[in-house]
Amino acid sequence: MESFLAIGLIIGKLAVVIAILFVLPIPLTWIERKIAGHIQQRLGPMRVGWHGLLQPVADAIKLLTKEDHIPVEADRFLFTLAPIIALVPPFLVFVAIPIGDSVTIFGTEVTLYLADMNVALLYILAVAGIEVYGVIFAGWASNSKYAVLGSLRTCAQMISYEIPMGFSVIGVVMLAHSMSLLDIVESQAGLWNVVTQPLGFFVFFVAGLAEAQRIPFDLPEAEGDLGAGYHTEYSGMRFSFFMISEYLIVVFLSALIVILFFGGWHGIPVIPLPPVVWFLLKLSFFIWVFMWLRFTFPRYRYDQLMSIGWKVLLPLSLANILISGVFMI
């Protein structure tokens, strides 16, 4: 009986997580457009619903009822497969991301994560790297110059920034003596890692912007010179898969920043809030930062993008490992 209850609990948590992740991009689009409006001294969406609250729903309906067009010269199989490959990895990484320790619901202790992996950090970095294949297939299968250039830029950008991103978290692993995200959070119960790893946080955050392909690193889908980049030829449901993936990557990177450097669900003792509330507040703040940067900074040139990755972030990430090792002696 207990085994059936445990299986039912896992399936229930999985269903809740999938449902939340599918719905989450809808309010995030409204929030981002409102942030853009206020930064640019305008109101943003105001027509559909109170203060435009139903605008994302209207946009979703419009997108889902659009014609699903496949270019005549496209590789139909890869063209269809690419959005799925781009969408699946952001869902898979949330298997290993905890939002709290555990809570008691109707007398049953429920853990606020799907799996406690002892190599969770390695798993997340590995799975997140699969997403680039969806972008490559989308660019190649579209048989469009804009899409191919966008996918090539994505490949170069991912290679350039995944290396410093991986190196930047080694200092955190050294301090926690574990790659389990639960252990990393518990190691910050007294002092957050951002205090002892400011250089690692800086490298991880900048590399995360590049991984999420957000301004100032949105070269793969630069509207000014590539139309829409690798998803130029996509429409309807397939286009929405790329958009959902993009927003979920922002959420997952924000969650990872909170877990690795800002104490996870550990808050400030003088402000007694539930651990889950602390986590969600920090998560919301970093999602807002990602959106704020989009409407604040200009886009880098491609040569500047490569130089920052190889000449700035990579040496800084290696220096952070060396400094962390020296202070641990």
**What pLDDT does residue 287 have?**
92
**What pLDDT does residue 286 have?**
93
Q: 10-residue block means of pLDDT along the chain (329 residues)?
A: 71 83 88 88 84 87 84 84 88 86 70 80 88 86 83 84 90 88 87 89 91 80 68 82 88 92 84 86 92 86 86 92 84
**What pLDDT does residue 118 have?**
85
Strands 108-111 and 102-105: antiparallel
**What pLDDT does residue 258 have?**
93
How do the domains of the chain map onto residue ranges? 66-101+116-328
**What pLDDT does residue 224 have?**
63
pTM comes to 0.89
Q: Which long-range contacts (CB under 8 A, 24 or more apart) does 255-259 make?
A: 255/97, 255/99, 255/283, 256/97, 256/124, 256/204, 256/208, 257/201, 257/204, 257/205, 257/208, 257/286, 258/282, 258/283, 258/286, 259/97, 259/98, 259/181, 259/184, 259/185
**What pLDDT does residue 254 have?**
93
